[in-house]
Amino acid sequence: MAIKTELDDTRLADPNLLEKIDKLFACNVGEYISLPQLVVVGDQSSGKSSVLEGLTKLSFPRDSGLCTRFATQIMFRRDVKLENREISASIIPASGNADDDQKLRAWKVSGLETLGEKGFVQMMRQVHELFNLSDSDSDGKPTFSNSVLRLEICGPQENHLSVIDVPGIFKNTTPGRTTKNDILLVRNMVLHYMKNRRSVMLTVVPANVDIATQEIIEMAKELDPEGERTLRILTKPDLVDKGAENNVIDLIEGQVNSHLGWVLVRNLGQQELVDGNNDRDTMERLFLQKEPWNRLRAENFGIKALKNRLQEILASIVRREFPLVRLEVTKKLKETRKALETLGIERQTAEQQRMVLLDIISVFQEITQQALTTNYSVHDVFDTDEDFRLATLVSNRNIAFSNHVQKWGNTFSFFANTRAEKENSGVDTPPEKEWTVSKPVSEASSAASEELGDTSVEPGMGDGADFIQSRRIQEDDTFLEILHDTARVQASQDGIETWIERVHREARGFEIGTFNYTLLSTLMKKQSAKWLDLAQGYISDVIAMVHRFINKALRAVCGDSTSGDSRISTNILALLWDNLMDKYRQATSQVEFLLSIEREGMPMTLNHYFNDNLQKCRQKRLKDHLASKAIFVHPHGDVARISDVLYHDHMDNAQHTIRDIHDILESYYKVARKRFVDNVCMQAADRFLVTGPAAPMKLFSPSWVNSLSDDKLEEIAGEDMKTKRRRRQLRKEIEELDAGRKVLLA
């Protein structure tokens, strides 16, 4: 028989390192990084509990209702200051619920010199209640828990060792106790511990079964094909059939497919437990002295050999992995803190939510101020998206609106018949100046309408085009019901004098050499009919620009680290929606008001340019007449007969009146057009939408935030449940990892 040898403590790793690893487990650091550990795994009937009893000298409960439903970490520590063994118990929570975790952490049992079977049963019942585990499959409670029971055994004779016992895997359900879901749950729990690349798997299998068919052996092979971290433990050798002992011995001594090898242990049988007067270690020693078991080498049989082997294995992996563990804890802590930062400022209380909104307002107002003053170098958003350059976009749209009304706003072209007369007289007439409107610089920017520096021509606006679109921003604005659809604005028609003559003929009275003053209102309304589409298209574009600016600016400030949640911008817009719509309606109503004044009211002006324009019209007629009568062309001026200066155009009273109406209409139209364009741009767009005291951007202000109730603050800036859970989990990780870091630095 081989002589057994004790494992010298000097061969072990520094006990301080082993203690630090255990403290890391106590801090729950093992949940986030792999820690060196010994994990006892096996079937429910493999004798796993008996092996633990032999290692710990504790009487594990054998009540089927108290079988292992959670992982148990058992730690041995030598403390020469103690006279006798002391046992303490605590819980490492894994619920993720702050209140439940605090309750579990508060539970402790300490100062026990012994923990008999009754005491152990009582403790386990308390733990079951704390974990809220079920007594049957009908009470709706979980059968197993991911939290860990931690047993610490200290004494002057103990050696440093730590093992984790996990629930035994099973294939068949127990009526009233376990379900098919429990089978999968336990298997996943066991795999969780076995997959840890720094764990050594202590696979417990009975010696009296076909080892090749044991599921736990197959699971270990899949995770550790080379057997570098699998120590296999054979139990129940006393139940091996006669004649089969040599096969078991050959397996153990051959160390087939396992670098760490096999260890055989013999635990007390059921009858020996009932007798109650048998010493477990003595019975094992006597059994292993019998043939043929005495052929086993000392390091391969007995609970003492197993304990020495475990100490040696644990010391080896701790020495090898400890420096890497320290690095991984530091790295994981940094990553977790960064992940928490990405969630932004905490928004749990009303005060926190109000502060977040006030911070957002501050940045939003700064962007708005810079956007309206064209100070685009201050913030990066102006370089990333042209929709933020609000002042430039509106200014360019103003210019385009003015050009559109000037070129396309009149129903009939002034002087059309006059030019025809000149052509018939053989006098060249310079063509009317053509106006073009620039197209968006970047079609990728849906907000760009009239960009600077681009003279390209939009579809329908080039030479010979006969229409334009009233809207320059072509997009789906159905979410803004107050916006007007784009309209096709046709080119001005010829034949204005014919039209005036017809209107005059249909509305004249008994006037002699003059006309009814109401006729000018009728003509002005018809001549400015296209102002409606052009003005509605213009104000709709400006509203779209402003709304997009508000939307994108809010998303920019809410999506940054200020809050970490872009949902806030959506919530803010939803709450401000009605007020924003009121602002936009005020602008459109102002346009309608200005249109009604210019087109429905009596023509009126005190602008002296009306008389200037009228005189120019009449002088132009005389000049055109004299140019057609010139008898000598001189560099200093054409020469005409004095008799021709006395301009006599033989026509009847109606023709004179029609010409007067034409000249007055043209003169007034020019004044009214410029006045209308200025009023729409200044009163409707600028005052109500852009820089006015009640512009939409000013709705989002500190006073608005301060007026919000706690419920509204929660609705707008409160974190959703997913974010709350994520923040709570990250804080828990940081707390536990930071505690682990302090352990490593101690």
* pLDDT band (50, 70, 90) for residue 462: very low
The strand pair at 108-112 and 86-92 is best described as antiparallel
* pLDDT band (50, 70, 90) for residue 214: confident
Neighbours of 372 (CB within 10 A): 16
Q: 428, exposed or middle or buried, with CB in 10 Å at 0-12, 13-18, 19+?
A: exposed
Residue 640 or residue 269, greater confidence = 269
pLDDT surpassing 50 at residue 117: yes
Q: Which residues is 292 bridged to in the sheet?
A: none
Angle at alpha carbon of residue 725, lines to 721 and 728, rounded to 5°: 135
Q: In this structure, what DSSP letter does residue 450 have? A: S
Q: How confident is the model at residue 656, as a pLDDT?
A: 75
Q: Among residues 647, 613, 652, which one has the least CA distance to residue 628?
A: 647
**8 A C-beta contact, residue 665 and residue 524:** yes
Q: How confident is the model at residue 478, as a pLDDT?
A: 59
Please state, in angstroms and rounded to a whole number, the distance separating the CA atoms of residues 70 and 165. 8
- Widest CA span in the chain: 154
Residue 351 has which token pair?
Answer: 């005060």
List, for residues 406-455, the tens digit of each pLDDT value: 999 998 988 644 443 444 333 343 333 332 333 333 333 333 333 333 33
The strand pair at 230-235 and 262-264 is best described as parallel
- Residue carrying structure tokens 């959703």: 720
Neighbours of 621 (CB within 10 A): 17
Q: CA–CA distance from 149 to each of 91, 145, 317, 644 (Å)? A: 5, 10, 23, 120
Please state, in angstroms and rounded to a whole number, the distance separating the CA atoms of residues 173 and 177. 8
Sheet with 148-155, strands from edge to edge, namely 108-112, 86-92, 148-155, 71-78, 161-165, 37-42, 199-206, 230-235, 262-264
Q: How confident is the model at residue 629, as a pLDDT?
A: 67
Q: Does pTM surpass 0.85?
A: no
Q: How confident is the model at residue 496, as a pLDDT?
A: 86
- Residue carrying structure tokens 């670098």: 259
Cis omega before residue 292 (within 30°)? yes
Q: CA–CA distance from 332 to each of 19, 36, 329, 540, 738 (Å)? A: 21, 17, 5, 53, 10
List, for residues 655-706, the tens digit of each pLDDT value: 778 888 888 888 899 999 999 999 999 999 999 999 999 999 999 999 999 9
Please state, in angstroms and rounded to a whole number, the distance separating the CA atoms of residues 404 and 415. 19
Residue 594 or residue 62, greater confidence = 594
Side chain identity at 306, as an amino acid letter? L
- Residue carrying structure tokens 């052009």: 534
Lowest mean pLDDT among 500-504, 571-575, 631-635: 631-635
pLDDT surpassing 80 at residue 561: no
- Across the chain, mean pLDDT equals 81
Q: What is the dihedral of CA 310, 313, 314, 316, to 10 degrees?
A: 160
**8 A C-beta contact, residue 207 and residue 234:** yes
List, for residues 295-337, the tens digit of each pLDDT value: 888 889 999 999 888 888 888 888 888 899 999 999 999 999 9
Please state, in angstroms and rounded to a whole number, the distance separating the CA atoms of residues 444 and 387. 11
Query: Domains in the chain and their CATH numbers?
Result: 12-340+738-745 (3.40.50.300), 354-717 (no CATH)
Average pLDDT over residues 615-632: 71
State the DSSP H helix or E strand holding residue 469, giving kind and residue range, or none if neither.
Answer: strand 467-469
